[in-house]
């Protein structure tokens, strides 16, 4: 089956000025993402993966190259693409229902229909009974589930996730990873995930792009061919985990870096 390409990154380069000097962050990055694919950008802190995600979302301008979303150049943020962050981004003065409705306010003018759709997605993430609670009344894991419901409610074609589970404890992180896979399977949404957690990349991804810490480019592309959901204790899982770990180990920069195993 010929699966259409949702996103194409073509020879993208990006630099910043740092103390009067040009610092090259990305250099000639190219890859494609198929519709419905879960792709992880994996790398050491500071390798440029979050910058690349912001470029894909239209929040950062590039020096050269091109980003195409469904064949059209990405020139700025757009409704078909939403981003999830570590800090959830919920408005504390709005209850959970009203937080989910934010993205629908310009799309659905009928208040009852808007509420119905927001409640539907809260039900999908298991929080319909918390609709009238406020963010500070929920745990971190629940708040991230609200953020996922809000993202899915506008039916985006692409969700960008910048280490969305990094601040959560292990059990909440595992639970939300399973929830994400369940919801993604239902909605067939394309997801690009930034992480430096090797286990998370193997567990969630159809494909992992390992970013080089020195060149600002893709060091290796790895397809994860085992079916979902995956058993973290299975030999196949450990095979991919070891493969990626060795890729980091033998290319470790001299400065101190962060990664999780």
pLDDT exceeds 50 at position 254: no
Q: For residues 206 and 237, what is the distance between their CA atoms, to the nearest angstrom?
A: 13
pLDDT exceeds 60 at position 238: yes
pLDDT in tens, 152-210: 888 889 999 998 888 778 888 888 888 888 888 888 899 999 988 899 999 999 999 99
H or E, element range at 192: strand 190-195
pLDDT in tens, 77-94: 888 898 887 777 889 999
Q: For residues 163 and 195, what is the distance between their CA atoms, to the nearest angstrom?
A: 5
Please tell me whether residues 35 and 140 are part of one structural domain.
Answer: no
Q: For residues 132 and 238, what is the distance between their CA atoms, to the nearest angstrom?
A: 43
Question: HEC states along 58-120?
Answer: CCCCCCEEEEEECCEECCCCCCCEEEECCCCCCCCCCCHHHHHHHHHCCCCCCHHHHHHHHHH
Please tell me whether residues 120 and 106 are part of one structural domain.
Answer: yes
Please tell me whether residues 121 and 20 are part of one structural domain.
Answer: no
User: Into how many domains does the chain fold?
Assistant: 2
The domain boundary residue, chosen from 155, 178, 200 = 155
**Domain span including residue 131:** 89-155
Please tell me whether residues 74 and 170 are part of one structural domain.
Answer: yes
What pLDDT is recorded for position 35? 94
């Amino acid at each position: 089956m010929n699966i259409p390409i949702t996103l194409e990154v073509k020879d993208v380069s990006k630099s910043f000025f740092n103390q009067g000097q040009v610092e090259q962050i990305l250099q000639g990055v190219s890859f494609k993402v198929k519709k419905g694919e879960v792709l992880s950008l994996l790398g050491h802190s500071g390798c440029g993966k979050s910058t690349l995600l912001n470029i894909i979302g239209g929040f950062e301008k590039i020096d050269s190259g091109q980003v195409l979303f469904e064949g059209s150049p990405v020139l700025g943020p757009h409704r078909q693409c939403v981003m999830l962050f570590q800090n959830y981004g919920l408005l504390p003065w709005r209850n959970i229902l009203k937080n989910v409705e934010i993205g629908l306010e310009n799309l659905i003018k009928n208040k009852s229909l808007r509420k119905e759709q927001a409640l539907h997605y809260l039900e999908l993430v298991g929080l319909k009974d918390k609709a009238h609670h406020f963010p500070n009344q929920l745990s971190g894991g629940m708040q991230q589930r609200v953020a996922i419901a809000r993202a899915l409610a506008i039916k985006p074609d692409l969700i960008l996730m910048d280490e969305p589970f990094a601040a959560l404890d292990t059990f909440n992180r595992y639970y939300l990873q399973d929830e994400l896979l369940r919801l993604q399977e239902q909605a067939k949404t394309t997801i690009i995930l930034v992480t430096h957690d090797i286990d998370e990349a193997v567990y969630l991804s159809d494909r992992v792009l390992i970013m080089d810490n020195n060149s600002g480019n893709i060091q290796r592309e790895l397809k994860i061919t085992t079916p979902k959901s995956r058993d973290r204790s299975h030999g196949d899982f450990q095979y991919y985990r070891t493969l990626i770990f060795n890729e980091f180990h033998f290319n470790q920069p001299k400065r101190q870096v962060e990664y999780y195993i």
